[in-house]
Amino acid sequence: MRAPQVALLWHGDRETRDTVNLDEHRLGPTAAAMRAAGLEPQPAVYNDDFADEVRDQLLKVDAVQVWVNPINDQGGTRGVLDAMLKEVANAGVLVSAHPDTIQKMGTKTVVYDTRGMGWGSDVHLYQSMEEMRLQLPERLRQGARVLKQHRGHSGQGIWKVSPTSDPAMVVVRHAPRGNTEQEMLLDQWIESCAGYFAEGPMLDQEFQPRIVDGMIRCYLNVDRIGGFGHQEVNALVPDKDSGPRLYYPPAEPRFQAIRRKMEDEWLPELLSTLGMSLDELPLLWDADFMHGQVEGSYVLCEINVSSVYPYPESAMAPLAQAVKAKLMAPESS
């Protein structure tokens, strides 16, 4: 019997698709873990320009693991890709993460949907600029807020908005690396958000002062922790550049408290809150947490599903085993 074929899909151009050597690519270690599990990985470089070609490739494999950001370097979205992945999944190919799963748990809206959970915080959702214009000024009287677009990555569309002594003025800072604080009219900043609402609602979350203590990222293979990432400073903290994210295996002693909370408490509650089954969880995903103001508490920042990379080496073999287990499950045979 042939080994199950697993496509590793990422965004690229025609030249990359035609010339890539998977073993020399950044996903080479992931491919090696797949082979060690008895799977046969293959590269599947994707671009809207040759979507049909990639679809034909995916229809011939058993599974596809996807690494494509919500917004690519050219400003394009995943619209064409997501429609194609749904078609491939309907044909019986295992797709992780399925676009429907991304919509349920992989957008900023999940922070609002799960606000009542143990990781919850003071969050609100604006469906339109008019809602934001009416409600944001009152919330700013209580302190700084963080506004986030519906889907994005690398800090795109994430803003810290701080009040000033003049209610008409705010200090804003865009999260992507290299941006600085600017003072401007609140109405002017709200108008600048028009493009975000074209893609969905905007999330409004109370600024967490302990962001200066760093972010903890829990990497999961389905429902088990595969490793951790820790980033010591954050782009929304003035006068500090984002530091590197350091990676740790699941047994790292410093993160056992959050590991127990994630696996034993929050994950079952997440599934119940979102109306999801365990079977719908991605094979690879992560959740970012800030330290809460109460010692030992954590606040959800976001859940990443679309393109979880880089990720710890400790999660590579579990990812391969999760693919294999899924393909060997009775419903996959």
Kindly report the average pLDDT of the chain as a whole number.
Answer: 93
Q: Report whether pLDDT(332) > 50.
A: no
Residue 143 pLDDT greater than 70, yes or no: yes
Is the pLDDT score of 24 beyond 60? Answer: yes
| Over residues 118-125, mean pLDDT | 97
CB 298 within 8 A of CB 218: no
Q: Work out the average pLDDT over 150-165.
A: 87
CB 117 within 8 A of CB 273: yes
Model confidence over 77-88: pLDDT tens digits?
A: 899 999 999 999
How far apart are the C-alpha atoms of 292 and 316, rounded to whole Å?
30
Tell me the H-state helices in the chain: 14-19, 28-36, 51-58, 79-90, 99-105, 109-113, 129-140, 186-192, 194-197, 256-260, 267-274, 316-328
65: which strand partners?
8, 96
User: Tens digits of per-residue pLDDT, 165-197?
Assistant: 999 999 999 988 778 899 999 999 999 999 999
pLDDT at 306 over 50: yes
